[in-house]
Amino acid sequence: MSEPVRLVVDVAVLSVFLLGIWWFRSSASARFGNRAVATALIVGVCLALIPAPWEGVVGHVVVILFALAIGSTAGAITAARVDMTRIPAMVALQNGAGGLAAALVSLVELARSSDDASMGDFARLAAMLGLTIGAATFAGSLIATGRLANWLRSSSTVLPGHNVLAAGLLGILIVSVCLGLILNDRSPIPLVIGLGTLAVVFGIVMAIRVGGADMPVLISFLNALSGLAAAFCGVAIGSRLLTACGATVSASGLILTHAMCLAMNRSWRSILWAGASVAAAPAPAAQASGQRDDSEVSPEDQAVQALRKAEKIMIVPGYGLALANAQAPAVRLAEKLAQMGKETKFAIHPIAGRMPGHMHVLLAEADVDPDLLFDLADINSEFSQTDLALIVGACDVVNPAAIEVEGTPISGMPVLLAHQAKQVLVCNLDAKPGYSGVDNPLYQDAKSILLWGDARENLNRLIERLADPSFHAENQA
């Protein structure tokens, strides 16, 4: 393929890639955009093989095809088996795999440069940066995967002299990269391996300090790093397409990281360097509405009565919605309430779930009307005029302790003001704290109806009761 033709093809593939990302802006076109991006990436992989780096050696072709078959099969099986509760952990793991791929390709290119001086200084620098950033991303993503999959504890881990250790490792990495550039225009294998090892250690040290409610920020940042590693890798091997796609992913990841920091009311530095996650402090007792009193009326009956009386209802989903696989009942309940003449909306916190956009994807899977979904900034002012806030599997994102208590992992984080609603219905599994470990004083508020248990079963039961006219007749009597 001639260079002009290759350039045109690269631009065409990149255009489809960017167009697919643009289609992600709407839930109606997101699925089509996903297919477009996947197609562009498949074509990009095929284009990468056209220069025939094996130079006619059939054995290399067999190895490449075998590796592609293994990777594709493993990815397809994993995607088919993973449900929405494990999607955040899978995303973190796949992001780490991308960083590892960039690190390995960069390592191969640097190993070649140790035998000859054909690699230019700029390409060598790009390869060393691709190796360093890719290895650090891989290690950090493994930590994130462990925490999101509940294999590791969710709270942050702070080592003695953590900041000094991280700064020291970063300094050594910078010196090593510079040293690799000035050693006779080559990159000695021991130096390259040492660089990758130090990057892995740095990635672990960086990631273990982030925990609790700050995890979505870490995921976004690691996504940006994996894209950056791929971009440097593309420069090292002379692939315009890989460089452009990697840079696009990195830029979008950084934008998302900034958005997550704003949602958490945190700075990037406080989360990834100074460590915003701290030990949980006890939540205050409910104040405005007094303490809860036991009632002879069952929580389920109270819930149905509240749903019937309310004219304006706000549904707040959280990670527990995913755990209970309750997205379909939540959407059906919203549709039922709308049929009853109620004004019903979904209030979505930017970090609800364990990765950015988790709740939007979950509800879209249940075919929710996109016009019913509202983000925190657009909906928070309406809670004070809301008759009933229905919380489904959410805790941290509606926890008033974030506003009232200092020194907790969520202190200062903007939350959905569900406690300002006239009445609150909680459909959570139990009264345990959320992912941050901070007790929720909303559970002690007298205006809160606590419907503990499986959210899917409880929502289905509420839908049945609302559809039963005898319940309304009994209460009228």
Active site residues: 396
Q: Which helix (DSSP H) or strand (DSSP E) does residue 173 occupy? A: helix 162-182
**Token match 């892995």: residue?**
200
158, 209 in Cβ contact below 8 A? yes
Whole-number Å distance between alpha carbons of 145 and 138: 10
Residue 418, token pair as written in the block = 């569900």
Q: Where are the alpha helices (DSSP H) in 183-318?
A: 189-208, 215-237, 240-264, 268-269, 299-309
Quote the CA–CA distance of 476 and 74 in Å, as a whole number. 59
- Reading the block at residue 171, the tokens are 């300094």
At residue 114, the 3 state secondary structure works out as coil
Contact in structure between 410 and 396 (CB atoms under 8 Å): yes
Encoded tokens for 223: 């996504």
CA distances from 330 to 148, 216, 336 (A): 24, 24, 10
Q: Is 437 within 8 Å of 270 (Cβ atoms)?
A: no
Q: What is the rounded distance in angstroms from the CA atom of residue 250 to the CA atom of residue 269?
A: 18
User: Could you write out the DSSP letters of every residue in 379-419?
Assistant: HGGGGGG-SEEEEES--GGG-THHHH-SSSTTTT-----GG
Contact 284/442 with Cβ under 8 angstroms? no
CA–CA distance, 189 with 115 (Å, rounded to integer): 10
Neighbouring C-alpha atoms within 13 Å toward the C-beta of 382:
19
- State which amino acid sits at residue 396: D
Nearest CA to 322 out of 292, 384, 284, 364 is that of 364
Judge contact between 220 and 205, C-beta under 8 A. Answer: no
State the residue for tokens 């990269």: 177
* Rounded Cα gap, residues 415 and 410, in angstroms: 9
H-helix or E-strand spanning residue 374: strand 373-375
CA-based nearest residue to 396, from 448, 320, 453: 320
Structure-token match 């009326």, residue found: 297
Residue 163 exposure: Cα atoms within 13 Å on the Cβ side: 8
